[in-house]
Amino acid sequence: MNNADFIRAFEKGKFPPQQFNHKAHIKLAWIYLEMFDEQTAISKTCEAIKNFDRIHGNGTKYHTTLTVAAVKVVHHFRQKSNAATFDEFVAENPRLITSFKELLFQHYGKSVLADPKAKTAYLEPDLLPFD
């Protein structure tokens, strides 16, 4: 599925829910960052995932801090990347798929991500800022 089809299917709720795994989440952020500045990509990613959760779930799985942090991490790696496609990007940065939690835990203590407020509002990292 090309990037435009991926976004269109996702935004319309037609992306297969069983295929929305971690890699697809990273791809969504990557595509939005390809199309928009970081802040707009964050907003679009958050809204798209919230909507997807409303359509295919019960609206309780979406986690604001994790989603914003994921876009920020992808943005960080994109700034250092020469990849032209998502597959090249992932091949260049396999830790985004294989060790994503470890990347997040460089920025966040587990208690921040577990805080109930983190689900509904973005909480800044307590260990290492993204900027």
Residue 17 lies in a domain: yes
**Mean model confidence pLDDT for the chain:** 96
Residue 99 in this model has a pLDDT that exceeds 90 = yes
Confidence of residue 43 (pLDDT cuts 50, 70, 90): very high
Whether residue 41 lies inside any domain: the answer is yes
Helices 64-79 & 22-35, crossing angle to 10 degrees?
60
In a domain, 115, yes or no: yes
pLDDT of 50: 94
Domain-embedded: residue 59: yes
- Expressed as residue numbers, the domain containing 33 is 3-120
pTM of the model: 0.95
| Residue 126 placed within a domain | no
Whether the predicted pLDDT of 131 surpasses 90: no
Residue 92 counted as domain residue: yes
- For the cut 90, the answer to whether the pLDDT of residue 30 exceeds it is yes
CB-count exposure of residue 121 (10 Å: 0-12, 13-18, 19+): exposed
Helix (H, G, I), strand (E, B) or coil at 116: coil
Whether 129 is covered by a domain: the verdict is no
Tell whether the torsion through CA atoms of 34, 37, 42 and 44 is positive or negative: negative
> Mean pLDDT over residues 51-64, rounded?
90
Mean pLDDT, range 5-21, rounded to an integer:
95
Q: What is the pLDDT of residue 1?
A: 86
What is the tally of structural domains in the chain? 1
Q: What is the mean pLDDT of residues 91-107?
A: 97
Evaluate whether residue 131 is within a structural domain. Answer: no
For residues 22-41, give the mean pLDDT. Answer: 97
